Structure 1
Amino acid sequence: MASLQQSLKQYFGYDSFRDGQEEIINQALLNRDLLIIMPTGGGKSLCFQLPALLKKGIAIVVSPLISLMQDQVTALQDNGIGATFLNSTLDFQEVRRREQNILSGKIKLLYLAPERLVSERFQDFLNSIVSTIGISFFAMDEAHCISEWGHDFRQEYRQLRQLRFRFPNIPLMALTATATTRVQKDIISQLNLKNPAIHRFSFNRSNLYYEVQPRQKRTYQQVLNLIQHLEGSGIIYCFARKTTEDLASRLREDSISALPYHGGLNDEMRSQYQNSFIRDDVRIMVATVAFGMGINKPDVRFVIHHDLPRNIESYYQESGRAGRDSEPSKCILLYNPNDKYKIDYFIKQKSNLQEQKIAYQQLTKVIEYAETNYCRRIVQLGYFGEKFKGDCDGCDNCLNPKEIEDWTIEAQKFLSCIARVEEKFGIKHIIEILRGSRAEKIYKYGHHLLSTYGIGKDKTSTQWEYLGKSLIYQGLLNQTNDSYRILKLNKESWEILRLKKQVKIAVENNSIEKRLTEFNPKALEIELLLQRLKKLRKTLADKENIAPYVIFGDSTLKIMAQIQPKTLETLSKLSGVTEYKLQKYGDKFLREILAFCHQEILPTNLPNHTQMKTLQLYQQNLTVTEIAKERGLTISTIMSHFAELIELKQPINLDKFVNIEKQKKILNIIHQLGNQPLKVIKDKLGDNYTYDEIRLVKAWQKKINN
């Protein structure tokens, strides 16, 4: 019998197991009951798919969503594995055909919804399976659905408890991405698992980068800028249905393929939109939380939360839909403190006071996550009872730590002002007093006569607001939990005022230089080939009517682009390439790689030191003005660098600086006049064109001609 590693390579193309997988599979082969709590992207599906192929009989997999089971079956079939599903999308003849394949032993994995598995009409066929080919085990995916304490309880899952009594000798395997201790116990109890081996893994998703940005007033422009600087497919989660519709519509107007997804759409439209996203026909899905469990797309490269989620668990689940293939991905939360008032409104609609209390505690934790100055994983993982030391090197706070400054004097001014207004006002009013506002209400209350009036003009309103929130967050100041949000002094506040306690807060570190990364000339070549391989993958996927990732995952294509194999033998050794896929797709991808290596003319001259620094800042998504300020150079000098970089065939996007119509007109004049100085070309074009625009287009033309 082949070793587990050999079987892993044969069926799935991987050279090694992920953490914990091999032990789980060995226990499954020994017919043990299993409870597996493994985070999204950890390789949960392989834990039941590989044992199913190695054991006698057929494995029956319970899956809650039609789309999820269909996607998994398609991926298995494209690996040459006998897998199928039975659900309501199939007509009678197709069901009968698949049942015959099952009873003839052609199928190793059968996916079913819980309702069908326990229905009376299905029992006769189930008995036929047992008597002819046998059932190797039952695998309950998304097992948290069986528990009323889980975050997605489904009543139909409760009926699965029948399996243990009907088939006492067939092993049961329960799998889920998240489960508290209480939910774990409930799963074991409901399924009547016999002395199960319990495998619980860290909730930490090291490939995900977490960031929180203040949500700007011009939120759409902020979202658009993010999308334009992020690669690959993405999900944008919004609180309201209307927001999803509006945002998707505006993105399409800006030539970004996007669709809305929410509970108000009919089933057919939701299914159509979801398939468009999964198959890379649409890049962005703008969705409410209705777009969730069962989205089997491993190559989502970013998730943006337009609004504050209701709790940490929701955020973990939703942001966790990025990077399921373990490739680096980004999770960005746009935070506006006022979002908590919207959530507060819904909490107040709960009739049960205990539920209200729990909801407020959850809201407090997610606000802590958004406002914390230390490692965001400490807050996130702490919610699940997992201790994390920090310094994750994968969140904005760890990668760009804020500087700690002594703001004791400013805090005394702030707290003194609160005392002088008798603790009857909120942050905004206190800031207006400190900054000497001439608003009518300041004069109405006589607050222009206070000694603290105008003593804070040296700080901006934003800085004072940040200080106020820091005091509240550190427990140095209280704030009422109502719509008025009145500030109240506490014991620590008075210690600060009496100089018995210092106040230190974290402030932004404005040094951009430390964020520069080493530029790798080879990276351009790899990226160019990767894009060609992705284009080929999409063409093949469209012909077969499947999702592109089913053919090869992004990680496999990246390895191809880096290694650039020249033979099928070398290609076969890459992770993710099975013998079946090598025969089916190997020649096509090998031809593309060989054609690239023979045809692609890559830059021979590399940027000099000053050009390189400008390029690195550009790759950090800084604007021309920001780059000029950071480098202490004029904007014109920076634009000259861009022109030089374009000529050197470096990845500068001309469209960001000169719109398409202007490019066409400038090129037309250059063709008419020939290689003339910039002034001659500008005189011909007129005042609507700048020297920088002409310089960039000329550089682009030289790059093409060379």
Structure 2
Amino acid sequence: MDCLPLHTLQTVFGFHAFRPFQEEIINRLMAGDDSFVLMPTGGGKSLCYQIPALHRHGVAIVVSPLISLMKDQVDALRENGVAAAAYNSSLGERDSRQLLARLHAGELDLLYVAPERLMNDSFLERLREIPVALFAIDEAHCVSQWGHDFRPEYVALGRLRGIFPGIPLIALTATADHQTRNDIMERLGLADAQVYITGFDRPNIRYTVMEKRKPFQQLQEFLGTRPDEAGIVYALSRKRVEEVASKLRELGIEAAPYHAGLADRERSRVQEAFLRDDIRVVVATVAFGMGIDKPNVRFVVHYDLPKNIESYYQETGRAGRDGLPAEALLLFGYGDIPISRSLIESGTNPEQVRIELHKLSAMIGFAEAGSCRRGALLGYFGQRLEEPCGNCDLCLDPPDSFDATEEARKALSCVYRVGQRFGAGHVIDVLRGSKNERIRQLGHDRLSTYGIGAHLAAEAWGSIIRQLIHRGYLQQDLANFSVLKLTPSALPLLRGEERLVLAKPRIKVAEAKKEPRRRGTVLNMEYNEDLFQSLRALRKRLADEQNVPPYVIFSDATLAEMAALRPLDSEALLKVNGVGVQKLGRYGAAFLEVIRQD
């Protein structure tokens, strides 16, 4: 394909402009250079390798961890007229032979494959015989032991760089802290790769934490305000998943359980029904979700406390992939903490247990945050939010605050005085003048900061230190026993050049005040809700006829834009984001007819 990437974006995929960094990443890959891409869910990672695949000679090999994810990607590409296929265990012997024949004949633009199948010696030999355009490692956090979903079969992918040194490789993920990023790049041999970090913020998601009181009643009330919306409810155990799903069905809500204890056929049925909008709510353990491309998930509820922020971020990120408003609700109860801790401590790898316990502490800190929830979430990944987001429970219903300048300076000074070599617990002990033996052995009872915080309880100091971490004054080195270290932002505060207001600890987390729901707008344009629902009904009918999920035809965001712009001819319809030439020819007349009849 000789046209420019922008032309491909517009005519094949139906989008009018690139998002930040996309064009640069695409051009780099087309030039044959490696890249590491960290981009939030729904940020357009797939286009970063799909467009180069259509411009470079040969087939693009895309590594994907799940058959369902491969199917979703392949279905969507085929709808856009792209020659794509998946090579996995779901294929019979005859279909496998036919696919490999197409591969050798040069008839494929993209081939999706699982890591263990790709690294099979016989398959690697096949690839040596044909032109390969590029390798794309999707869900690259699976490579790292620091990743929240480490998969041993991904480790072998580190051999690719040595086997195919001249072929560009791109690794992509939505979830990776500093340690995970470094580990991915080392394991995949990406020392010379350009790193692209577009940020972690998903501003369309509203984050809310509620004190867990009567969890099912709270869930019922939450769902009652969203009668037509699809969502996911995450629970910690299989038993709880089954119980919650059963109770929801008794209330007449289309819900189904999903966990690793179910038969493969049943899990596939539930996932397929959810993707096709036949099931409204999936109640699941963490076994459900990776690679769920369904863009119109409007909410994610955590019935129990997640084990780490990475999981929480990725799971909540399954809401609102289309950019429309979405909600993430966490029911936080202190009784969940010992359960999560015991599950972690049952592990057999002491180093992994230590890592996971530190990550659990960070998750608890997020749930207890006293200032902007989004700021705390982004701060964990090293991204600072300059202003409160205005779209979380703590921004909409702020806790009481106090001038914490002096307390903050004491805490920061103590971190410095102990050599920036200890975690929060030890710093708090020094501040409060603890007489434990370790402090005396280290000589920390002779520091100028010893005992200067005796007037506050340990819980209050814990809240202050967590907020200093969230605000970017301190960083917590999880790879090194959660040692606290000062950031450059701490210096003006220590010098007395600025004041700091923090939130008073609030154990009971109030429900955010309800504001009018942001319905009926897309890209700052108002749209007709009745027309939108008519377009959804048409999409569902066409999807059932084509035997594909509805969003593969058009996303909710595309339908909403149609309902806002009301295009009356093909030329106008082609200006709607998500409508490419292939889809215009296949579906344009049907959607235009509904719009004209409105």
Once residues 520 and 194 of structure 1 are traced to their aligned partners in structure 2, the CA distance between those partners, rounded to angstroms, is: 47
| Contact 2:244/2:283, CA 8 A, preserved across alignment | yes
**Alpha-carbon offset, residue 511 of structure 1:** 11
Mapped pair 1:330 → 2:330 = no
Mapped pair 1:530 → 2:527 = no
- Spell out, residue by residue over 1:529-576, the C-alpha distance to the aligned partner (whole angstroms, 9 max, x if none): 101100110011011110000000111000001111111211111111
Q: How does 1:145-184 map to 2 (within 5 A)?
A: 145-184=142-181
Mapped pair 1:224 → 2:226 = no
Give the corresponding residue for 1:55: 56
Q: Secondary structure of the residue that 1:136 maps to in structure 2?
A: strand
Give the corresponding residue for 2:363: 366
CA change 1:356–1:110 in 2 (3 A) is closer
Give the corresponding residue for 2:97: 96
CA change 1:404–1:325 in 2 (3 A) is same
Amino acid at match of 1:163: L
Q: Secondary structure of the residue that 1:213 maps to in structure 2?
A: strand
Amino acid at match of 1:539: R
**Alpha-carbon offset, residue 6 of structure 1:** 1.7
Once residues 71 and 518 of structure 1 are traced to their aligned partners in structure 2, the CA distance between those partners, rounded to angstroms, is: 29
Give the corresponding residue for 1:44: 45
**1:144 alignment partner, one of 125, 141, 146:** 141
CA change 1:233–1:578 in 2 (3 A) is same
Q: Identity across aligned pairs (percent)?
A: 45
| Contact 2:396/2:512, CA 8 A, preserved across alignment | no
**2:555 alignment partner, one of 553, 556, 578:** 553
CA change 1:518–1:141 in 2 (3 A) is closer
CA change 1:229–1:188 in 2 (3 A) is same
**Alpha-carbon offset, residue 125 of structure 1:** 2.8
Mapped pair 1:35 → 2:36 = yes
CA change 1:2–1:521 in 2 (3 A) is closer
Give the corresponding residue for 2:575: 573
**Alpha-carbon offset, residue 201 of structure 1:** 2.1
Q: Secondary structure of the residue that 2:12 maps to in structure 1?
A: helix
**Alpha-carbon offset, residue 188 of structure 1:** 2.5
TM-score, normalised to structure 2, is 0.79
Give the corresponding residue for 2:66: 65
Q: Secondary structure of the residue that 1:301 maps to in structure 2?
A: strand
| Contact 2:232/2:300, CA 8 A, preserved across alignment | yes
**2:274 alignment partner, one of 277, 288, 293:** 277
| Contact 1:322/1:330, CA 8 A, preserved across alignment | yes
Q: How does 1:17-28 map to 2 (within 5 A)?
A: 17-28=18-29
Give the corresponding residue for 1:376: 373
Give the corresponding residue for 1:125: 126
Once residues 242 and 49 of structure 1 are traced to their aligned partners in structure 2, the CA distance between those partners, rounded to angstroms, is: 40
Amino acid at match of 1:188: M
| Contact 2:60/2:136, CA 8 A, preserved across alignment | yes
- Spell out, residue by residue over 1:317-355, the C-alpha distance to the aligned partner (whole angstroms, 9 max, x if none): 211111122222110011222211222333443566665
Q: How does 1:193-592 map to 2 (within 5 A)?
A: 193=190, 195-217=192-214, 219-230=215-226, 231-350=228-347, 357-404=354-401, 471=460, 474=463, 515=515, 526-592=528-594
Once residues 521 and 552 of structure 1 are traced to their aligned partners in structure 2, the CA distance between those partners, rounded to angstroms, is: 17
Once residues 348 and 112 of structure 2 are traced to their aligned partners in structure 1, the CA distance between those partners, rounded to angstroms, is: 39
Once residues 180 and 163 of structure 2 are traced to their aligned partners in structure 1, the CA distance between those partners, rounded to angstroms, is: 24
**Alpha-carbon offset, residue 398 of structure 1:** 1.1
5+ residue gaps, structure 1: 407-466, 477-501, 597-706
Once residues 508 and 97 of structure 1 are traced to their aligned partners in structure 2, the CA distance between those partners, rounded to angstroms, is: 58
Once residues 361 and 83 of structure 1 are traced to their aligned partners in structure 2, the CA distance between those partners, rounded to angstroms, is: 42
CA change 1:313–1:72 in 2 (3 A) is same
Give the corresponding residue for 2:451: none
Q: Secondary structure of the residue that 2:528 maps to in structure 1?
A: helix
- Spell out, residue by residue over 1:489-548, the C-alpha distance to the aligned partner (whole angstroms, 9 max, x if none): xxxxxxxxxxxxx99667999997x94589999999711110110011001101111000
Q: Secondary structure of the residue that 2:57 maps to in structure 1?
A: coil
Once residues 375 and 330 of structure 1 are traced to their aligned partners in structure 2, the CA distance between those partners, rounded to angstroms, is: 15
CA change 1:356–1:185 in 2 (3 A) is closer
| Contact 2:241/2:284, CA 8 A, preserved across alignment | yes
Once residues 124 and 538 of structure 1 are traced to their aligned partners in structure 2, the CA distance between those partners, rounded to angstroms, is: 43
- Spell out, residue by residue over 1:648-673, the C-alpha distance to the aligned partner (whole angstroms, 9 max, x if none): xxxxxxxxxxxxxxxxxxxxxxxxxx
CA change 1:58–1:351 in 2 (3 A) is closer
| Contact 2:389/2:395, CA 8 A, preserved across alignment | yes
Amino acid at match of 2:539: R
**Alpha-carbon offset, residue 157 of structure 1:** 1.7
**Alpha-carbon offset, residue 187 of structure 1:** 2.4
Once residues 354 and 191 of structure 2 are traced to their aligned partners in structure 1, the CA distance between those partners, rounded to angstroms, is: 36
Once residues 14 and 236 of structure 1 are traced to their aligned partners in structure 2, the CA distance between those partners, rounded to angstroms, is: 32
Once residues 79 and 333 of structure 1 are traced to their aligned partners in structure 2, the CA distance between those partners, rounded to angstroms, is: 37
Normalized per residue, which structure has more helix? 1
| Contact 2:253/2:280, CA 8 A, preserved across alignment | yes
Amino acid at match of 1:244: V
| Contact 1:402/1:509, CA 8 A, preserved across alignment | no
Once residues 248 and 32 of structure 1 are traced to their aligned partners in structure 2, the CA distance between those partners, rounded to angstroms, is: 48
| Contact 2:258/2:267, CA 8 A, preserved across alignment | yes
**Alpha-carbon offset, residue 106 of structure 1:** 2.5
Q: How does 1:639-654 map to 2 (within 5 A)?
A: none
**Which structure has the bigger radius of gyration?**
1
Aligned length: 505
Once residues 511 and 232 of structure 1 are traced to their aligned partners in structure 2, the CA distance between those partners, rounded to angstroms, is: 20
**Alpha-carbon offset, residue 396 of structure 1:** 1.3
Once residues 362 and 524 of structure 1 are traced to their aligned partners in structure 2, the CA distance between those partners, rounded to angstroms, is: 42
Once residues 6 and 521 of structure 1 are traced to their aligned partners in structure 2, the CA distance between those partners, rounded to angstroms, is: 28
- Spell out, residue by residue over 1:154-175, the C-alpha distance to the aligned partner (whole angstroms, 9 max, x if none): 2222222332232221111111
Once residues 321 and 519 of structure 2 are traced to their aligned partners in structure 1, the CA distance between those partners, rounded to angstroms, is: 27
Once residues 116 and 335 of structure 2 are traced to their aligned partners in structure 1, the CA distance between those partners, rounded to angstroms, is: 42
| Contact 2:392/2:512, CA 8 A, preserved across alignment | no
Give the corresponding residue for 1:622: none
Amino acid at match of 2:117: R
Q: Secondary structure of the residue that 1:256 maps to in structure 2?
A: coil
Amino acid at match of 2:596: L
Once residues 521 and 4 of structure 2 are traced to their aligned partners in structure 1, the CA distance between those partners, rounded to angstroms, is: 41
5+ residue gaps, structure 2: 404-455, 466-501
| Contact 1:150/1:179, CA 8 A, preserved across alignment | yes
Once residues 527 and 354 of structure 1 are traced to their aligned partners in structure 2, the CA distance between those partners, rounded to angstroms, is: 53
